[in-house]
């Protein structure tokens, strides 16, 4: 089949960008979307033009590195699918597609379709963990975790950090990402000791990174390749305001002995 | 993670600085307004009980002046917080995406959610008009008499543009309340896989009834059922 | 060069304990004076960086991806082994050790494997404490499954995303140290050379992949955890970015490369669909528990599978291996598939595929039961191929998956370059000639969480390390070398893309150094690969500039290294005149086509020394001693 691509080209973070039209005449329906771009790039290189830059790595939908907008939809039209797993059989001859990078103040463009998502790392660094240094763990079965709880924690932990939630959110909010991590650790007994601090620190960091707020449009959960539900946002909000208003102040004794 | 919890005095300001805090502020002020709207509707519907009933009700409400002003101040505060926080959240959203998408490809149909800012702004304009019109009588599309709501409503709603704006506004109010009511529970974290869907349906039914409850008055006037 | 594995004295179960006691410690107050450079942020690198920082060392951590959370450990599906014996089914540290040595076809170091089995139990505890959501029983205890033909249930798992969850655990621990200021993170940064001063590893030269700027980082020790070299074959189950450049540069600086020909082929991957194919996708091995593998009996049978009656199907694994059937180990299943396709009985448009049929299982258990077990895998298969495996049998074909070979390390995980440690898939240590399922995650985390933190302290405590200035001659030299190489790649301005060369190299390797190898093919490769390399340097077209985001330049540098590594792999395969594990030499098989090992002559790790451009590498042998495990021929009949 033959496709027309309008690809956002932008040399660097501070350069102006714009769409460039490409004609791709020989697309096989068995190609993945990224393989189709590979073919386009091979041709551009031989013509002496710069290939289209896009992030990708595992190409099996788990590393979270790939992702851009196809006709305004994060990772393209298929539900539960990253763009590396989207195959061309879902398009037809003559289709015209618009490829844009994730757009958010917190995700500056690196080049073309590649963006800088280090804001996500900073949110995790602010508190998305259990503070347990290597060697200090009790036996794995010392604390039972009900299967239903472990399953729900796993549902939230499935997040691949691709940024489709931010990209598709009309507010460019990172609430689904942050909420997923808070929910994952908040479900488990191991996450309880730091639950209050975690919510406070991660939400504060999310705001610092210039993400917008959540107004529950629900767009993110439809765009999420792992189908994470906006229920995690409710959990995050609850943990946050309960901690912000009711967490106990530090003990005076701890300060004296510290 | 920061090593110390904030001191009690800083908590509220810190809380409000973060967007989740703003959402909770939206929710709480929304609850107040929501409650008011229900009472207001109940009052309006007394129009069907006749002129004396409604006018007496209005006068009874105004009998205790301090209480009246407390209620007014609480409502004004709620409107103020709701309005200001809403504007600042919308501003933050705009700032969070300085470059817009060329092509939009919405997946999640959500008319009410997507029009919250718009419906909110129209409602704000309507509230201003509504107070000037039926509380203070500053704007008089029809003859106005203080504390005689039955007559004021019947006279005003005979003016088609006034009735039209009113019906449009209360329909938007329904839409606004639908998204506001169910998402409020999400915002404050009241959420359960078993109850949230039911809550959402309840919000839809309730918002619909509310819009109907307000609309029947001007419609009844226009059709001559109430004169 | 005399290879000293530094295996501690004493009975095998006491070796690690006594070794830990004898290792020198760094005074806690002095740890902050040392800087360790950790390259790679997968299970091995991420866990090492986090743990070293927890101990108080300053760590600089490097990865080529945009975030440390994306390393390819994330794609591991099946699970992680540990000798917990929670199931009370007879597992033990000794059994896991024994299974691993045997599964590796007796080409691994006993002491290392025993330590791995010992540490396996700590790994599970650590990961649970971090909040890894392992599968649980209703009572709240950890669930286990049997994996890869093991006789006990010792595999812990988190749905089909175990690697992801373990990696996120390590990543979160790492980010905690970033926040604490103990780790400085360098994402989108590629190591392009190793800096040696006074014969010790003291720094790395890197390129910032966004700006193209070169930088040198100096430290007191270097830890490489950069994964395997499966992408030498172009098509593999590895991530597109996975590469061998860091270990190859270290090799050229003096680190010996051990057993490069030990590559693992995974039997259940989705077949190649066209010449645009960019990678191969693995389907979990667990599919073979219920799926039956077959090809038509007749050559060139193009009927659709449902039109082929049962009597005209050849369930070749069940026929050849009646007791193990479809559950034979990875290498055996892979070779059998290749044999069927070589006979012209392969299926699918390319003829390179065999059926994995769930028809009988669906009849026996119902579609629902199958969906519960494999639903997500079936969905993935359908997403990629467009075929519905509930109705049409899956088509599968083997693909390169894992490399057991890697840089040679001693018991302390130190390479032959003092101060340079190699962890995870990048080293050669624990899997011998074949890795068992669910053991890669175990090894990566053992190395990073529990071994390197001890052994690196001994080196730092006992070695005199002079301060290194950033303008040291060795640093300048390394930088100059890297820059010259990048300039040369950019200057070629030829007529072929990097990928076209890489595909050609991959084809050569897959044909002659893949599932089955023979003398003739390997010798041909040893002349074809250098010729292709020469052509590459003359005729490659990279485009763009050095000091900018330039994906083609990154790839070109890696492919240039693959040529040299591929040559070494062929050389190693040619010299190893036996069949063992993932290395199958057609000359060395039993009359019925099974692998024949030669313990008399080849019970050693082959460690190769780089002798310079165009020179033959020199072979060093580390003899392997088996005091615990009895050497037998594997049989799955």
Angstrom distance (rounded) from CA B65 to CA B76: 16
Per-residue confidence at A257, pLDDT binned at 50, 70, 90?
A: low
Chain A residue with the nearest C-alpha to that of B12: A245
CB distance from B136 to chain A under 8 Å?
A: no
CB distance from C526 to chain A under 8 Å?
A: no
Residue A256 reports pLDDT greater than 60: no
Per-residue confidence at C546, pLDDT binned at 50, 70, 90?
A: very high
Cβ–Cβ below 8 Å for B107 and A210: no
Residues A4-9: what's their mean pLDDT? Answer: 98
Per the CB < 8 A criterion, the answer to whether C295 and C356 are in contact is no
Higher-scoring residue by pLDDT: A178, B134: A178
Cβ–Cβ below 8 Å for B20 and A223: no
CB distance from C213 to chain A under 8 Å?
A: no
Which of C278, C379, C446, C503 to mutate to test binding with chain A, by most A CBs within 10 Å of its CB?
A: C278
Give the pLDDT score at B3. Answer: 44
* Residue B205 belongs to some domain of the structure: yes
* Residue C214 belongs to some domain of the structure: no
Residue B189 reports pLDDT greater than 90: no
Strand pairing category for C313-314 and C292-296: antiparallel
* Residue C186 belongs to some domain of the structure: no
Strand order in the sheet with C35-39: C183-186, C58-62, C35-39, C221-224, C420-422
Domain boundary among C398, C413, C447: C398
Per the CB < 8 A criterion, the answer to whether C216 and C270 are in contact is no
The residues pairing with A32 across neighbouring beta strands, listed in sequence order, are A87
Residues C188-215: what's their mean pLDDT? Answer: 97
CB distance from A253 to chain B under 8 Å?
A: no
How far off is chain B from A9, nearest CA to CA, in Å? 13
Higher-scoring residue by pLDDT: B101, C1: B101
Maximum alpha-carbon separation in chain B: 69
Angle at A214 between CA A210 and CA A220, to 5 degrees: 100
Cβ–Cβ below 8 Å for A217 and B103: no
* Residue C281 belongs to some domain of the structure: yes
Residue B2 reports pLDDT greater than 50: no
Angle at A61 between CA A58 and CA A65, to 5 degrees: 60
Give the pLDDT score at C332. Answer: 86
* Nearest CB neighbour to A222, from listed B17, B99, B107: B107
Nearest to C153 by CA among C108, C95, C111: C95
CB distance from C413 to chain A under 8 Å?
A: no
* Residue C335 belongs to some domain of the structure: yes
Chain C residue with the nearest C-alpha to that of A129: C172
How far off is chain B from A97, nearest CA to CA, in Å? 10
CB distance from C396 to chain A under 8 Å?
A: no
Higher-scoring residue by pLDDT: A71, B200: A71
- The pLDDT tens digits of the residues spanning A217-240 come to 999 999 999 999 999 999 999 999
Token pair 């995050």 is found at: A236
Task: Please report the DSSP string for B169-217 in residue order.
Answer: HHHHHHHHHHHHHHHHHHHTT---TTTHHHHHHHHHHHHHHHHHHHHHH
Cβ–Cβ below 8 Å for B187 and A203: no
Residues B33-39: what's their mean pLDDT? Answer: 94
Q: What is the CATH number of the domain that holds C585?
A: 1.20.58.100
Chains that touch C (3 or more CB pairs under 8 A): A
Q: How many domains does chain C have?
A: 2
Cβ–Cβ below 8 Å for A105 and B96: yes
Give the pLDDT score at B141. Answer: 81
pTM: 0.95
Which residues form the domain of B154?
13-97+114-222
Per-residue confidence at C149, pLDDT binned at 50, 70, 90?
A: confident
Which of A75, A121, A140, A141 to mutate to test binding with chain C, by most C CBs within 10 Å of its CB?
A: A140
Q: Which residues contact C329 (CB under 8 A, 6 or more apart)?
A: C103, C148, C149, C434, C634, C636
Per the CB < 8 A criterion, the answer to whether C220 and C460 are in contact is yes
CB distance from B7 to chain A under 8 Å?
A: yes
Residue A35 reports pLDDT greater than 90: yes
* Residue C49 belongs to some domain of the structure: no
Q: Please state the length of chain B.
A: 227
Per the CB < 8 A criterion, the answer to whether C242 and C60 are in contact is no
CATH of domain A117-246: 1.10.1060.10
Give the pLDDT score at B8. Answer: 59
Query: CATH fold of A3-111, please?
Result: Ubiquitin-like (UB roll) (3.10.20)
Query: How many C-beta atoms lie closer than 10 Å to residue B125's C-beta?
Result: 12
Give the pLDDT score at C107. Answer: 97
CB distance from A232 to chain B under 8 Å?
A: no
Q: Are residues C483 and C590 in the same domain?
A: yes
What number of C-beta contacts closer than 8 Å exist between A and B?
Answer: 168
CB contacts of A194 in chain B (<8 Å) are 1
How far off is chain A from C239, nearest CA to CA, in Å? 4
Query: How many C-beta atoms lie closer than 10 Å to residue C303's C-beta?
Result: 12
Give the pLDDT score at A258. Answer: 44
CB contacts of A46 in chain C (<8 Å) are 495, 497, 541
C-alpha gyration radius of chain A: 21
Q: Are residues C380 and C482 in the same domain?
A: no
Q: What is the CATH number of the domain that holds C334?
A: 3.90.700.10
How far are the Cα atoms of A120, C187, C449, C552 from residue C62, in angstroms, in the given order?
17, 6, 17, 20
A 190-229: CB under 8 A from B: 194, 196-198, 200-201, 203-204, 206-207, 210-219, 221-223
3-state SS class at C390: coil
Cβ–Cβ below 8 Å for C274 and A185: no
The residues pairing with C44 across neighbouring beta strands, listed in sequence order, are none
Say which DSSP state C419 is in. T
Strand pairing category for C406-407 and C200-208: unpaired
Give the pLDDT score at C137. Answer: 96
* Nearest CB neighbour to B106, from listed A171, A172, A219: A219
CB distance from C420 to chain A under 8 Å?
A: no
Q: Where are the domains of chain A?
A: 3-111, 117-246
Residue B197 reports pLDDT greater than 90: no
Q: How many domains does chain B have?
A: 1
CB distance from B88 to chain A under 8 Å?
A: no
**Catalytic pick from C107, C249, C288, C330?**
C330
Residues C385-409: what's their mean pLDDT? Answer: 96
Angstrom distance (rounded) from CA C154 to CA C98: 14
Per the CB < 8 A criterion, the answer to whether C122 and C450 are in contact is yes
Angstrom distance (rounded) from CA C440 to CA C433: 13
- The pLDDT tens digits of the residues spanning C345-364 come to 999 988 999 999 999 999 99
Per the CB < 8 A criterion, the answer to whether C53 and C75 are in contact is no
- The pLDDT tens digits of the residues spanning C218-252 come to 999 999 999 999 999 999 999 999 999 999 999 99
Which residues form the domain of C490?
473-594
**Which of A213-222, C14-23, C263-272, C325-334 is the least confident region?**
C325-334
* Residue C352 belongs to some domain of the structure: yes
Respond yes or no: is residue C330 known to be catalytic: yes
* Residue B109 belongs to some domain of the structure: no
- Compute φ and ψ for C469, nearest 5 degrees: -85, 155
Q: Which residues contact C506 (CB under 8 A, 6 or more apart)?
A: C232, C233, C234, C235
- The pLDDT tens digits of the residues spanning C105-117 come to 999 999 999 999 9
Q: Are residues C387 and C480 in the same domain?
A: no
* Residue B208 belongs to some domain of the structure: yes
* Nearest CB neighbour to A234, from listed B14, B179, B191: B191
* Residue B104 belongs to some domain of the structure: no
Give the pLDDT score at B7. Answer: 59
- The pLDDT tens digits of the residues spanning C475-524 come to 999 999 999 999 999 999 999 999 999 999 999 999 999 999 999 999 99
Per the CB < 8 A criterion, the answer to whether A82 and A162 are in contact is yes
Give the pLDDT score at B1. Answer: 47
Give the pLDDT score at C331. Answer: 84
Average pLDDT, chain C: 95
Residues C423-450: what's their mean pLDDT? Answer: 95
Which of B96, B183, B184, B203 to mutate to test binding with chain A, by most A CBs within 10 Å of its CB?
A: B96
- The pLDDT tens digits of the residues spanning A118-174 come to 999 999 999 999 999 999 999 999 999 999 999 999 999 999 999 999 999 999 999
Per-residue confidence at B9, pLDDT binned at 50, 70, 90?
A: low
C 166-195: CB under 8 A from A: 168, 171-173, 175-176, 178-179, 185, 187
The sign one gets for the Cα dihedral A153, A155, A156, A162 is positive
How far off is chain C from A140, nearest CA to CA, in Å? 4
CB contacts of A57 in chain C (<8 Å) are 65, 70, 72, 239-241
Give residue C618's region: left, alpha or beta (phi > 0; psi -120 to 50): beta
CB distance from C70 to chain A under 8 Å?
A: yes
How far off is chain A from C516, nearest CA to CA, in Å? 27
């Amino acid at each position: 089949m033959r496709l027309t691509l309008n690809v956002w080209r932008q040399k660097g973070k501070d350069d102006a960008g714009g769409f460039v039209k490409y004609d791709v005449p020989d697309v096989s329906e068995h190609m993945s979307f990224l393989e189709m771009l590979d073919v386009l790039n091979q041709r551009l290189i031989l013509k002496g033009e710069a290939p289209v830059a896009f992030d990708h790595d595992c190409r099996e939908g788990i590393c979270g590195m790939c992702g851009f907008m196809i006709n305004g939809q994060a990772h393209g039209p298929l539900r539960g699918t990253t763009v590396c797993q989207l195959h061309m059989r879902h398009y037809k001859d003559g289709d015209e597609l618009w490829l844009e990078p994730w757009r958010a103040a917190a995700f500056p463009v690196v080049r073309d379709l590649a963006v800088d998502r280090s804001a996500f790392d900073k949110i995790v660094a602010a508190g998305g963990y259990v503070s347990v240094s290597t060697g200090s763990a009790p036996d794995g079965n010392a604390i039972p975790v009900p299967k239903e709880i472990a399953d729900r924690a796993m549902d939230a932990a499935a997040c691949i950090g691709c940024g489709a939630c931010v990209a598709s959110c009309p507010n460019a909010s990172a609430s689904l990402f942050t909420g997923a991590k808070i929910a994952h650790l908040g479900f488990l007994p191991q996450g309880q000791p730091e639950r209050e601090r975690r919510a406070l620190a991660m939400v504060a960091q999310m705001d610092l990174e210039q993400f917008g707020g959540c107004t529950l449009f629900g767009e993110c959960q439809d765009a999420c390749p792992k189908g994470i539900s906006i229920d995690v946002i409710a959990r995050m909000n609850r943990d946050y305001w309960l901690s912000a208003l009711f967490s106990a102040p530090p003990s005076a004794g701890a300060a004296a002995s510290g | 993670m920061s090593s110390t919890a904030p001191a009690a005095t800083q908590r509220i300001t810190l809380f409000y600085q973060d967007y989740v805090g703003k959402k909770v502020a939206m929710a709480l002020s929304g609850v107040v307004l929501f409650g008011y709207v229900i009472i207001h509707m109940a009052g309006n519907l007394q129009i069907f009980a006749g002129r004396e009933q409604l006018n007496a009700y209005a006068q009874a409400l105004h009998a205790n002046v301090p209480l009246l002003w407390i209620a007014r101040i609480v409502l004004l505060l709620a409107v103020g917080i709701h309005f200001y926080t809403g504007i600042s959240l919308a501003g933050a959203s705009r700032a969070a995406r300085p470059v817009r998408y060329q092509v939009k490809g919405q997946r999640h149909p959500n008319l009410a959610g997507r029009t919250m800012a718009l419906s909110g702004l129209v409602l704000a304009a309507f509230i201003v008009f509504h107070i000037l019109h039926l509380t203070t009588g500053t704007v008089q599309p029809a003859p106005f008499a203080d504390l005689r709501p039955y007559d004021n409503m019947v006279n005003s709603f005979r003016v088609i543009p006034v009735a039209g704006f009113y019906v449009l506004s209360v329909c938007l109010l329904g839409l606004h309340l639908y998204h506001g009511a169910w998402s409020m529970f999400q915002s404050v974290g009241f959420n359960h896989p078993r109850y949230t869907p039911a809550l959402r349906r309840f919000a839809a039914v309730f918002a619909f009834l509310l819009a109907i409850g307000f609309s029947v008055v001007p419609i009844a006037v226009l059709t001559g059922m109430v004169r | 060069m005399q290879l000293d594995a530094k295996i501690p004295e004493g009975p095998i179960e006491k070796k690690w304990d006594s070794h830990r006691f004898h290792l020198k410690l760094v005074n806690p107050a002095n740890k902050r004076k040392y800087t360790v450079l950790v390259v790679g942020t997968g299970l091995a690198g991420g866990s090492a960086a986090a743990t070293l920082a927890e101990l108080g060392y300053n760590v600089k951590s490097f990865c080529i991806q945009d975030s440390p959370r994306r390393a390819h450990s994330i794609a591991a599906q099946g699970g992680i082994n540990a000798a917990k014996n929670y199931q009370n089914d007879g597992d033990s540290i000794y059994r896991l050790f024994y299974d691993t040595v045997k599964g590796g076809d007796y080409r691994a170091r006993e002491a290392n494997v025993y330590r791995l089995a010992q540490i396996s139990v700590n790994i599970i505890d650590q990961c649970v404490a971090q909040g890894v959501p392992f599968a649980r029983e209703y009572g709240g205890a950890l669930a286990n499954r049997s994996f890869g033909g093991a006789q006990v249930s010792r595999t812990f798992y988190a749905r089909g995303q175990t690697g992801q969850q373990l990696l996120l655990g390590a990543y979160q621990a790492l980010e905690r140290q970033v926040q604490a200021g103990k780790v400085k993170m360098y994402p989108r940064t590629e190591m392009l050379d190793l800096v040696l001063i006074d014969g010790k590893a003291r720094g790395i030269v890197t390129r910032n992949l966004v700006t193209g700027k070169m930088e040198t980082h100096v430290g007191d020790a270097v830890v490489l955890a950069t994964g395997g070299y499966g992408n030498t074959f172009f098509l593999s189950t590895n991530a597109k970015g996975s590469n061998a450049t860091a270990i190859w540069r270290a090799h050229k600086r003096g680190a010996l490369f051990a057993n490069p020909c030990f590559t693992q082929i995974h039997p259940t991957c989705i077949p190649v669909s066209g010449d645009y194919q960019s990678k191969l996708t693995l389907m979990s091995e667990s599919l073979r528990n219920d799926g039956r593998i077959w090809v038509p009996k007749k050559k060139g049978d193009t009927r659709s599978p449902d039109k082929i009656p049962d009597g005209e199907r050849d369930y070749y694994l069940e026929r050849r291996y009646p007791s193990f059937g479809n559950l034979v180990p990875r290498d055996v299943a892979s070779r059998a598939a290749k044999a069927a396709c070589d006979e012209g009985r392969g299926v699918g448009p390319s003829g390179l595929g065999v059926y994995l049929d769930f028809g009988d299982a669906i009849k026996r258990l119902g579609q629902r039961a199958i969906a519960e077990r494999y639903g997500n895998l079936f969905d993935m298969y359908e997403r990629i191929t467009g075929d519905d495996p509930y109705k049409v049998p899956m088509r599968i074909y083997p693909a390169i998956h894992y490399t057991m070979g890697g840089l040679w390390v001693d018991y302390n995980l130190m390479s032959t370059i003092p101060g340079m440690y190699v962890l995870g898939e990048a080293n050669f240590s624990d899997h011998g000639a074949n890795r068992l399922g669910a053991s890669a995650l175990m090894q990566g985390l053992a190395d990073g969480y529990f071994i390197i933190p001890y052994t690196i302290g001994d080196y730092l405590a006992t070695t005199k390390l002079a301060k290194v200035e950033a303008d040291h001659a060795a640093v300048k030299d390394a930088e100059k070398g890297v820059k010259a190489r990048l300039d040369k790649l950019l200057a070629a301005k030829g007529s072929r893309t990097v990928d076209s060369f890489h595909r050609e190299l991959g084809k050569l390797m897959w044909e002659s150094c893949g599932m089955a190898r023979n003398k003739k093919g390997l010798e041909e490769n040893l002349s074809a690969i250098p010729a292709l390399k020469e052509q590459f340097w003359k005729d490659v077209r990279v485009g763009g500039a050095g000091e900018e985001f330039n994906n083609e330049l990154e790839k070109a540098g890696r492919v240039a290294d693959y040529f040299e590594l591929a040559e070494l792999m062929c050389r190693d395969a040619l010299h190893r005149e036996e069949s063992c594990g993932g290395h199958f030499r057609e000359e060395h098989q039993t009359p019925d086509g099974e692998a024949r090992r030669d313990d008399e002559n080849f019970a050693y790790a082959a460690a190769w020394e780089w002798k310079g451009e165009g020179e033959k590498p020199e072979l060093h042998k580390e003899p392997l001693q088996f005091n615990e495990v009895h050497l037998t021929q594997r049989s799955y009949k």
